[in-house]
Chain A
Amino acid sequence: MVQRRKLDHLPDRFPLACQWEVTCRCNLHCVMCYTDCFNEPERIRQELPTVDLLRIMDDIAEAGCLELCLTGGEPLARPDFFQFYERAINLGFLVTLFTNGTLITESIADRLAAHPPHRIEISMHGLTETTFEQVTLGRGSFHRCQQAIALLLERSLPLTLKSTAMTLNQHELLPIKRYVETIGSVRYKLGEEIRPALDGSGAPFQFALQPEALNELHRQDAQLWNEACHRRRPDTSPCRSGMRRFHIDAYGVLQLCSGNRAQGYDLLKGSFQEGFYDYLPSFGCRWKDAATTSLFPPSVTHA
């Protein structure tokens, strides 16, 4: 009667997975970061207070949400991080934490181990101090990140390391991948998407790799090549954002996904149930089946 499996009998529209950008504040200023433009005091003051964050979290748990990804900015930069993180664990969410790792001390690692997440993903943008800190613009960040990785591995926490491919680190991407492959339990992900900043600026694109450079990178690694070939196949299936997954920004606005913030529903003014079931279906997305959208043809990037 007990089955160890993933859910597979969900309604077509069900709020199973949430990506929650709990803050735009961060101790680093990565050159390609799309949230760093809102990492300033005036914007930070507008972010969700703890009490509202916890209330919304209760609401999405009540609605049946199971997978919760806490991202930023840097989630650990919020002073109330463990208040909502531990609440999320105790509510039975499968929590994924996106972090730069540099704020993880021994005591924070212990606290994470006491309430272990489903997965922790740390951004590792270089294998050398010089490259890493050219990306993060934070002196000392390389060693703090390395230390965090060691602390989490010592505690057997489920870890993924990931990099964003850029002109600054392209020469170290394969060495990073090889390095991660030497650590038995750790997974590696290479991200190739660079997005415009939240204020609309295209500044992050100045570090984007040209398609030829990405192609050359893929050719040097069988796994990356396979994944790239797979992505090139035309995907005609409609986008599932807003169907099984949704995004909440640092100010409590419910959106289709992190890459499409063209329309939103303010969770400080209305209920999650209303936002998800009554409003999200009407939000536009160019990746969705045309029959499900009628408002406008948005020109947005997609997660």
Chain B
Amino acid sequence: MPGSVIYTKNPDFVQRHVAGECILVPIRRNLVEANSIYVLNETGAALWSLLDGIRSVTSIEEKIGQEYDVTAEQLHRDAETLLTDLLSIRAIQEVSIHDGSAT
């Protein structure tokens, strides 16, 4: 997963804060997903909040690295795992880039 990739949130997921936990609720779920909610840990929630369709993965990792005591390698590995998970549940999608600008 190249660091230059940009992701945007799928609007069909609503972020909820429940008793200090960050939860993603799919609001267009099908029968299979009907009983599923997705819980992000603290750093996962921080990364989620920075997915804005503008920042690249590298830029997001740099921002999180300034706030958490974690090596760049560890952060990159964890971010990649989370983004893969979020892609698999279709909570995020990659933004196409044309002429250097995200669309």
Contact = CB atoms under 8 A, between A and B. Distances in A.
B17 A156 contact: no
B93 interface: no
Interface in B5-64: 14-19, 21, 23-25, 27-31, 34-41, 43-44
Q: Is the interface of A mostly helix, strand, loop or mixed?
A: loop
Interface stretch (A114-122, A142-150, A211-219, A292-300): A114-122
Interface size class of B (residues with CB under 8 A): 20 to 34
Given A1-B82, A10-B19, A66-B18, A115 B27 contact: yes
A185 B31 contact: yes
Contacts of A114: 28
A118 B34 contact: yes
A158 interface: yes
A17 to B, nearest CB: 11
Given A64-B17, A92-B14, A1 B34 contact: no
B31 A156 contact: yes
Nearest to A157: B31
A301 B40 CA distance: 40
Given A2-B82, A116-B34, A92 B16 contact: yes
Given A9-B21, A66-B18, A92-B27, A2 B85 contact: yes
B86 interface: yes
Interface of A: 1-7, 9-11, 14, 16, 61, 64, 66, 89-94, 114-116, 118-119, 156-158, 185
10 contacts: A2-B38, A2-B40, A4-B38, A5-B37, A5-B39, A6-B37, A64-B17, A89-B27, A118-B35, A158-B31
Given A93-B25, A116-B34, 18 more contacts: A1-B44, A1-B78, A2-B24, A2-B38, A2-B44, A4-B89, A7-B19, A7-B21, A14-B19, A61-B16, A64-B18, A66-B16, A89-B27, A90-B27, A116-B29, A156-B30, A158-B34, A185-B31
